[in-house]
Amino acid sequence: MIYKVENRNLYGMLTVDYDKLFEDALWKVLKQYSDNKIRFYSENDLLGHLFYECRRLMEERRFPFPLKLYAERTVFDKHAKVDLVLGDDEILVELKLEPDYPGVNKPVVFSTKKEASGSGSIESDLEKIETYARKGKSAHFVMIDEDGRHVRKICTEYWKSIPIKREDKQKLAHYLHVKRKGRP
């Protein structure tokens, strides 16, 4: 399959669609996760698989080198890093994961800022992507909740179920994908 990545803007400059690339990479990773080809034990596992899939798609679609893909990059504040960045800081992605495996201390992630008492939370990451959009950046928040704890607490109407295979059992995990378009 050949992908058209080259588009020209009004000034004849080359443009690439990082937003579409990220969404394609996300759906591929979710499919591999659902099929038990990959597992997530930490947010870094989710980040690593998304980074790899974004890179693979960039090369497949012949994005120009050097590839503009970064993990844990400073964008606005030198004391805060964005989990995943594509392009010239065009697409900013915040990630969260609530794993469910024997021995994991719960909760790994807090739903609300009040619960978190100063630590990171889903609520604060959702506020971050709103801020990124107000600053003109397109932003995504992606979370996987393997035990359903957060589905009942925050953004309840936006979660989607995802069947996952574990050993010989089927179970439901949940994911939340919130996208905000940049607006200057």
pLDDT tens digits along 120-169:
789 999 999 999 999 999 999 999 999 888 888 888 789 999 998 877 78
Distance CA 1, CA 35 (A): 23
> What was the pLDDT predicted at 7?
52
Structure token digits, residue 95: 């990630």
Query: Is residue 158 in some structural domain?
Result: yes
The predicted structure's pLDDT at residue 15:
60
CA atoms within 13 Å, Cβ hemisphere of 119: 8
Would residue 1 count as lying in a domain?
Answer: no
**Percent above pLDDT 90 for the chain:** 62
Residue 45 has pLDDT above 90, yes or no: yes
Q: How confident is the model at residue 105, as a pLDDT? A: 78
Indicate yes or no: pTM above 0.85: yes
- 37 in any annotated domain: yes
- Does 24 fall in a domain? yes
Grouping H, G, I as helix, E, B as strand and the rest as coil, residue 8 is strand
- The answer to the question of residue 2 being in a domain is no
Residue 4 has pLDDT above 70, yes or no: no
Q: What's the domain range around 130?
A: 7-180
Count of structural domains, the chain: 1
The answer, yes or no, to whether the previous bond of 163 is cis (omega within 30 of 0) is no
Contacts of 64 (CB under 8 A, 6+ apart): 14, 16
Whether 41 maps to a domain, the answer reads yes
**6 pLDDT higher than 70:** no
Q: At what angle do helices 18-34 and 43-60 cross, to 10 degrees?
A: 120
pLDDT in tens, 49-86: 999 999 999 999 999 999 999 999 999 888 889 999 99
Q: Which residue has the higher pLDDT, 116 or 176?
A: 176
